[in-house]
Amino acid sequence: MPFLPDASLTELAIIVTLAAFSAVTGGVAGYGTGALMPLVLVPMVGAAPVVPIIAISAMFTNSARVLAFRRLLDPRRALIAVVCALPTCVLGAWLYTLLSGRGAALVIGTSLIATVPLRRLLKRRGHRLSEKGYAAAAAGWGIVVGGSTGAGVILLSLLMASGLEGAAVIATDAAVSIGMGVVKISVFGAAGVLTPKVLVIALLISAVAFPCTFLAKLIVARMPVHVHTALLDAVVIIGGTVMISSAVR
């Protein structure tokens, strides 16, 4: 590993193991890699390269999810999110090194946790996020996803609030995330942060995560929709709690 002179075999083994675990988790819950991989990457390579690394590897894992769950993809919701979030994603990626995320993490984390009971309440009353509301929320999400690694949980919440359930959430989330990934990688490339070390680690994660996503498909295929929806709710709550606790620390 000429581009990883400071990484031991143990550290590389940890990256590979966590990449496999997060790929399965992400394939089932739609969220995982962006939250789990920084736990080992930040101590190893520092904070600055983590977002570019996750952005590159996510292109492969999300492509695998689209392939695995392509029959359940909602093209209209995916297109709306991509069109509305692209401009703000560029802005978020550009501001990546300039913004402090503590206050934003508190607001986003609290909002995420609140979306679960609110969405369930509105569903019981026959309400859900309108197409215009979904489009506006996607635009706001674009700023966050442009400069962070754990914002995928927000899109999960938006898709569920718009009426999607189960594996349809996973497929549509993955399709939208591919579009965002292209934007982020383009911005990071123009800024000169895509170093050889970033590329090597990203490709290592991708090589492990891509096949593991199809293992997740087997799990989802045997999981009832209401159980999968409950799991997604739990992921949203956990993601919001992690954001809040990180900001407080």
Which of 19, 6, 89 shows the shortest CA–CA distance to 53?
19
Q: Give the position of tokens 């083994």.
A: 13
Phi/psi at 172 (5° precision):
-70, -40
| pLDDT reading at 189 higher than 70 | yes
DSSP 3-state assignment of 100? coil
| pLDDT reading at 232 higher than 70 | no
Specify the pLDDT at position 121: 64
Specify the pLDDT at position 7: 63
| pLDDT reading at 134 higher than 80 | yes
DSSP 3-state assignment of 193? coil
| pLDDT reading at 168 higher than 80 | yes
Please compute, for residue 91, the number of CA atoms within 13 A of its CA located in the half-sphere on the CB side.
11
Specify the pLDDT at position 80: 95
Amino acid present at 136: A
Neighbour count for residue 20 (Cβ, 10 Å): 16
Angstrom distance (rounded) from CA 66 to CA 60: 10
Output the six-digit token pair for 143: 């700023």
Specify the pLDDT at position 115: 63
The model carries a pTM of 0.70
pLDDT tens, position by position, 1-36 = 454 556 677 878 888 888 888 788 777 766 666 666
Mean pLDDT of 122-147: 80
Q: Which ranges in 37-166 belong to alpha helices (H)?
A: 38-45, 50-68, 75-94, 102-124, 131-146, 152-161
DSSP string, 152-187: HHHHHHHHHHTT--THHHHHHHHHHHHHHHHHHHHH
DSSP string, 197-246: HHHHHHHHHHHHHHHHHHHHHHHHHTS-HHHHHHHHHHHHHHHHHHHHHH
Neighbour count for residue 6 (Cβ, 10 Å): 9
| pLDDT reading at 86 higher than 50 | yes
Kindly give the interhelix angle for 75-94 and 167-191, rounded to the nearest 10 degrees: 30
User: Is the distance from CB of 50 to CB of 97 less than 8 angstroms?
Assistant: no
Amino acid present at 141: W
